[in-house]
Amino acid sequence: MLQKTPTSPPVTDLTIPHAEGVSDDEFRAAMSRLAAGVVLVTAHDPDDGPRGEDVGMTATAFLSVSLDPPLVLVSLRNGSRMDDLLEEVPVWAVSVLAENQRHVAGRFAMKGRVSDRLLFADLPSTRGEESGAPLLDGALATLECRTESRVVAGDHTLVVGRVLKVGLPAPDGDPLTYFRGKYRRLG
């Protein structure tokens, strides 16, 4: 007779405490020592106002997942405007920021802003053909994506997107990086 293994509730339904001895500050300090590239994630919210509104968010938790098919992943704080929007809007874009776009990263990293309309006002960009989202001029690369899956992971949601279109507006520039809590130059 076969014995069945009891099933556990889904992990997304559980609150998992920190591992014994790991504080928020220790974890933050350890992860700050991992250098990361900086991107601007953008999407167009068609339901915000008569012509909709563009939404943007600075992210350092962005990576390539697969070459075939071309997939990327971005981590979004649960309940953030971008997380809520990408739950409703299936297409979005990413601009890989160049070192000289540090001001853009800082602008879209501000918490508690009411509207992104003014943040985009003076930024040279083009509207993506696939996503309808802003793609920054001068970015090292741009990617337009369609959400393939969403996975809740702790206080963030991991969004996997299929890359629909790639652009290389400024492929020879230096990347903007983030290390120990500050934007940095590579090298």
Say what the pLDDT of residue 18 is.
Answer: 58
Contact status, residue 136 vs residue 125, Cβ threshold 8 Å: yes
Residues of the chain with pLDDT under 50: 1-3, 5-9, 11-15
- Beta-sheet strands, E only, within the chain: 36-37, 39-45, 53-59, 62-66, 71-77, 91-96, 125-127, 134-136, 141-153, 156-167, 176-179, 182-185
pTM of the model: 0.84
d(CA 29, CA 24): 9
Write the CA distances from 180 to 33, 100, 177, integer angstroms. 6, 19, 10
**Bond prior to 124 in cis (omega within 30° of 0):** no
DSSP string, 93-122: EEEE-BGGGHHHHHHHT-SS-S-SHHHHTT
What confidence score (pLDDT) does residue 5 get?
A: 47
DSSP secondary-structure letter at 138?
T
* Whole-number pLDDT of residue 187: 66
**Residue 9: per-residue pLDDT:** 47
Query: For 95-140, how does the pLDDT look when each residue is reduced to its tens digit (9 = 90+)?
Result: 999 999 999 999 999 877 667 878 888 899 999 999 999 999 999 9
Can you tell me the distance from the alpha carbon of 36 to that of 131, in angstroms, rounded to the nearest whole number?
25
Q: Which of 41, 39, 36 is nearest to 145 (CA)?
A: 41
Give phi and psi for 144, each to the nearest 5.
-110, 135
